[in-house]
Structure 1
Amino acid sequence: MGRWAPGAGDRLREAALALYLERGFEQTMVTDIAERAGVTARTFFRHFADKREVLFDGTSALTESSLAALEAAPATASTLEVVAAALDAAADMIGRDRELARKRQSVIMSNTDLRERELIKIASLSATLADGLRRRGVDATEAGLAAEAACAVYRVAFQRWVDADDGLDLRDAIGQSFAQLRALTAAGYPRTACSSEAPSSSA
């Protein structure tokens, strides 16, 4: 089969995911993936840097889509509304196929290195969102906090969506998680030992 056969990238992704689930990530070699996809190992490396990147090659597109949505948000939108718009854009990309997301998540959670790579992806998204907020004029501290909060919302909502047995939509899961965050924030913070009203300790 030619090295640039139509759909080679998609076949490689499908083959890799199937083999990771069947044999385990560590036990699957690039040659195994290429053979299952009906292409050469050279073709594999024309599409992916290594077998790990089969699971993460969409990261750049996800980040770009989220940033574009953030930048397109109305100037009157609150900081949380802006990051919510960014997550909606991410959901539009990721939320199309829950079964695929479940399989990918299963592979990632079974391997320490892949879990670390997933955390790096989320951290990179958070940094990108924070930068975008600062360019909109948001205070640096507020921008960083909002971006981190958005990524926490995303992680919680994504896991809920993956685990759900009903027709829950990823965008709805994100919206509900944001609503819970706002409710927690509205409830206020508990007083700390450093509060001016805290009892003084005896000598």
Structure 2
Amino acid sequence: MPRSHWLDPLARRVLQATGQLPPARSSATSNNALARPEPALPSNWFLDVNRGSQQQWRELPGCTDDMADLLVRLQRGGVQFAAADDLFRLLDLPTDLAQLWAPHLVFNWYGDAPLQPVRSCIDVNNASSEELTSLAWPDQRIHGLLRERRLRGFRDLADLQERLCLPASSVEALIGRVSFGQRRAGPSLPPRG
């Protein structure tokens, strides 16, 4: 078994002091921790989902920089979430994290009433033009989507909004209805004659 580097204990203490690693626990403490996990957030800590900053999102256990960035980009684009299920589907959040986050999330709606979700899911990067018509978009917008995805697939909902210049209401209507799979090779549009 290789010996650990001399810097390992010092680096570990520095990372623990800055909060990037959990604090060291004695074996007695770690046995108790396995029996009943400590709450990651104070019970009185809440996040307004539709107004949260990137720093506030990062306070949620398991929230990555990419997740926080996506949510803030959508927020800047005027997108709001009406319910936890929409948020959890968008982030593809595991059930255990969703249960941990749920008591701390507040869904205040700013402006008109939210749209009711529709339960069919379309892979925006691979759907045929016929499948995309179920989005109830004008033909011009669907052709714009097809043109943009030929250049490169969409990463996420915020990328779709930014590249197609979609209004917030259109993006909100897509939450839970679209996914962003890897772009498969093949033509998106029929050849022009």
How would you bin the TM-score normalised by the shorter chain?
under 0.3
Structure with bigger helix share is 1
Report the TM-score, using the length of structure 2 for normalisation: 0.26
Using CA pairs below 8 Å that are at least 6 residues apart, which structure has the higher relative contact order? 2
